[in-house]
Amino acid sequence: DTAVSQTPKYLVTQMGNDKSIKCEQNLGHDTMYWYKQDSKKFLKIMFSYNNKELIINETVPNRFSPKSPDKAHLNLHINSLELGDSAVYFCASSPGAGPDTQYFGPGTRLTVL
């Protein structure tokens, strides 16, 4: 009965590869998010997606792209991986577009070699 799930939990890959991280929520929430937590534990929002509206943090490179096949899923695609992409990526969801509590997934630790 996991609320927000992510796969894979760990991802190790070579520089230059393209990879995806999947996120699913079974809470019936309307809004989903992706966050990046760097090696210093600093959490930064990357995207938020509410139905048809995608809000992108302007500092996120365009190699990163979210894809939402339906309301329950928001996958993260990363092209041409770089060493600096190594981090833990968290997916989250919230009921609506207002100031709601966000529920986080367990995180995906990405290591780029």
Partner 1 sequence: AQRVTQPEKLLSVFKGAPVELKCNYSYSGSPELFWYVQYSRQRLQLLLRHISRESIKGFTADLNKGETSFHLKKPFAQEEDSAMYYCALMTGANNLFFGTGTRLTVIP
List residues near partner 1 by CB under 8 A.
31, 33, 35, 40-45, 48, 50, 55, 57, 90, 92, 94, 97-107
By C-beta, is 61 or 96 nearer to partner 1? 96
Question: In whole angstroms, how close is the CB of 48 to partner 1 at the nearest point?
Answer: 6
Question: In whole angstroms, how close is the CB of 51 to partner 1 at the nearest point?
Answer: 12
* Structural tokens at position 23: 């996120």
In DSSP notation, 71-111 reads TTB-EEEE-S--GGG-EEEEEEEESSSSSPPPEE---EEEE
By C-beta, is 45 or 72 nearer to partner 1? 45
The radius of gyration computed from the CA coordinates of the chain, to the nearest angstrom, equals 13
Contact 80, 63 (CB under 8 A): yes
By C-beta, is 35 or 64 nearer to partner 1? 35
